[in-house]
Amino acid sequence: MLAMDQGVVEEWLSEYKTLPDNAVSNYAASLKDKGALVPALYKVIRENYSDLLEPVCHQLFEFYRSGEPRLQRFTLQFLPELLWSLLSASSARDPHTSGCIEALLLGIYNLEIVDKDGQSKVLSFTVPSLSKPSVYHEPSTIGSLALTEGALSNHGLSRVVYSGPHLQRETFTAQNRFDVLTFLLLCYNAALSFMTPSSLQSLCQLSSRVCICGYPRQQLRRYKGISSRLTVTSEFLVQLITGIHYALCNGEVDVGSKALDDVLYRAQLELFPEALLVGNAIKSSLHSAALKSNNKEGPRSIQVEITPTASRISRNAVTSLSIRGHRWKRHDAVDLGSPDELMEISELDEGVWPGLAAPSDAAPPTITISNSFTTPSLGARAMKKCRLGGRTSKDKEAGPAPGGRAASESAELSVKRLTLTSSQSVPKAGALSSLTRTASAVFSRSFEASSAPVPNHHHHHHLLHQAGSDAGAQDAGRYSCSLQEEGLGYLSPGRNHTPLSTSISVHLGSDL
């Protein structure tokens, strides 16, 4: 270490100590003008045996503790270098040299896991859901695609996930080391935009070394530091990848892509799905971005071009959007007259409505609803099928041998099936509710026919009942499902007609 560097560091050490409290802010702003300081500090950290290491670590901790964001970021920029010092020392089983670095890192960790009042911090993250309106969308325009069973169970709820509270740590042990380091990387990643290029390079270097030391690839990279393997965890690698990703997109293309390759190499050897997942995604997304723009202008690789707004997909190609209308048309063509087919349909429906087969007690029913633009009568059709299923079993009941256990079972079965009531907004409500067995095949069509030209804004509104042990009389375990469609003026088979807004609401509740 050069005497000049030493001088710079010593000056830095003494200057902060004599600083009055009200000058801290100005001091923090002036730090970036001290050009020779940061490289000198890197040298101190790299040379483990330097006498300056301990006071430097101490002062970096003081910076962090000051609470002044610029001072905290000044400390954070050395985090990758400090992590590497710690990891390489611990692999060499040389506990003395890394003592003050350990203390600094634990100090930062213990500061970060509590808030200003010293209470344990709980980080929260709201998982956005398309079923809830946001500043960028309206659930009804998203249509049905997101309406899976999972989406339904979270319908209208925004899920919040928490991290923490975290335990205070007094020492590093093999068990907690990566918990602490992963958390520290998380803090570092939260301040990535403020990190200098040299810090990002140091992060990439750390990632490469941690991942390849002791493996054959070490020769490829010509790194001759330590040669023993370092343990890693998948979460630690994921955090490293997050930082590498930022570095890659903000000027550090060469070291960044090397580091990403090395992390992926290690993740493959360790069979870590999480790190592989995120690493592959970054690689593939950067690959496609690189294909698009070969010109590299400026340090940031964030580039935006004017893109054509018209769909680039030709109109006659079958897409998931267009096929839906298609499928429903074909269903309409099914001849509902033959009882065999009715049986088939009802069997099919067992799969679609798993809630039906289950005993109607507290178990929440799982209902899968798919909706499509061109088929506002979906609810009716699904219910029709259920109804038909019920009918066929009743037919059997009325057949040759009523009585005995089988009959009572099938009676119970039919009771458990859905019964349909339609609400007042359908003009022919009376006709619907008085549907007889023989009419049920015709029912769907008459229903559609009657609902199509309705001019009001709520065109139809069905209520689906699943009665409990006693159909209708008891309301135990009742689930209602209502389906509302707007803009039925579009109801026609033409492809270009789509309802303006489609809203589906499903209420699951068991009134006991």
Partner 1 sequence: MTARKSGSRLETEIERCRSECQWDKIPELVRQLSAKLISNDDLGELLLAECKLQTYLKENPIKQGASPRGPRPKLVEVRKHLTAALDRGNLKSDYLQEASLLMAKLCYVEGEYRDALGHYGRVSLDELQLAGAPVYRLSIIAESYATKGLCLEKVPTASPLLSNNNTGSPALSNRTACERDQEIITCYEKSGDIALLYLQEVEKVCVSGIQNRSPKPGPVAPDQELGYFLETGLQRAHVIHFKNGNLTRGVGRFREILRAVETRTTQNLRMTIARQLAEILLRGMCEQSYWSPMEDPPTVSPLDDPSQQGHTHSNKTYSLSRRPRIYSGENLFCPQENTEEALLLLLISESMANRDAVLSRIPEHNNDRIISLQSASVVYDLLTIALGRRGQYEMLSECLERAMKFAFEEFHLWYQLALSLMAAGKSARAVKVLKECIRLKPNDPTIPLLAVKLCIGPLHWLDEGECFAKMVVDMGEKAAEFRAKGYLAIGLVYSLKATDASLRGTQEEYQRKALGAFQRAQSLSPTDHLASFYLALQLAVSRQIPEALAYVRQALQLQGDDVHSLHLLALLLSAQKHYHDALNIIEMALSEYPENFNLLYTKVKLETLCRGPEEALLTCKHMLEIWKSFYNLTNPSDSGRGSSLLDRAIADRRQLNAMTLPDFSDPDTGSVHATSIAASRVEQALSEVASSLQSSAPKQGPLHPWMTLAQIWLHAAEVYVGMCKPAEATACTQEAANLFPTSHNVLYMRGQVAELRGNVDEAKRWYEEALSISPTHVKTMQRLGLILQQLQRYSLSEKVLRDAVQVNSTAHDVWNSLGEVLQAQGNAAAATECFLAALELEASSPVLPFTIIPRAL
Residue 496 CA to its chain's centroid (Å): 33
Task: Based on the shown chain and the rule CB under 8 A, indicate whether residue 197 belongs to the binding site for partner 1.
Answer: no
Work out how close the CB of 495 gets to partner 1 at its nearest, in angstroms, rounded to a whole number.
10
Query: For residues 412 and 426, what is the distance between their CA atoms, to the nearest angstrom?
Result: 30
Q: Give the span between the Cα atoms of 380 and 386, in whole angstroms.
A: 10
Instruction: Determine if 362 is a binding residue for partner 1 (CB under 8 A).
Output: no
Counting contacts by CB under 8 A, is residue 494 touching partner 1?
Answer: yes
- Find the binder of partner 1 among 12, 84, 236, 479 (CB under 8 A): 236
Site for partner 1 (CB under 8 A): which residue of 273, 400, 403, 404? 273
Interface stretch with partner 1, choices 22-30, 214-222, 403-411, 462-470 (CB under 8 A)? 214-222
Instruction: Mark out the alpha helices in 196-314 (DSSP H runs).
Output: 197-212, 217-221, 234-249, 253-270, 273-292
| Amino acid symbol at 86 | L
Per rule CB under 8 A, is residue 35 in the interface with partner 1? no
169 touches partner 1 (CB under 8 A): no
Q: Which stretch binds partner 1 (CB under 8 A): 44-52, 202-210, 244-252, 416-424?
A: 244-252
Are the C-beta atoms of residues 475 and 500 closer than 8 Å to each other? no
Structural contact between residues 125 and 161, judged by C-beta atoms closer than 8 angstroms: yes
Q: Which is nearer to partner 1, 79 or 342 (CB)?
A: 79
Only segment of 201-209, 255-263, 293-301, 341-349 that touches partner 1 (CB under 8 A) = 293-301
Smallest distance from partner 1 to CB 10, Å: 30
Q: Are 443 and 435 in contact (CB under 8 A)?
A: yes
Exactly one of 96, 224, 312, 405 binds partner 1 (CB under 8 A); that residue is 312
Residue 163 CB partners (closer than 8 Å, separation 6+): 122, 123, 124, 125
Using rule CB under 8 A, residue 280 touches partner 1: yes
Contacts 24+ apart (CB under 8 A), 221-224: 221/258, 221/262
Determine the Cα–Cα distance for residues 143 and 73; give it in Å rounded to an integer: 45
Within 420-479, which residues bind partner 1 (CB under 8 A)? Answer: 452-453
Helices (DSSP H) in 113-233: which residue ranges? 139-142, 149-153, 177-190, 197-212, 217-221
Near partner 1 in 49-108, by CB under 8 A: 69, 93
The amino acid at 502: T
Tell me whether residue 4 or residue 167 sits nearer to partner 1 (CB atom).
167
Applying CB under 8 A, does 505 fall inside the site for partner 1? no
Q: Which stretch binds partner 1 (CB under 8 A): 58-66, 79-87, 212-220, 336-344?
A: 212-220
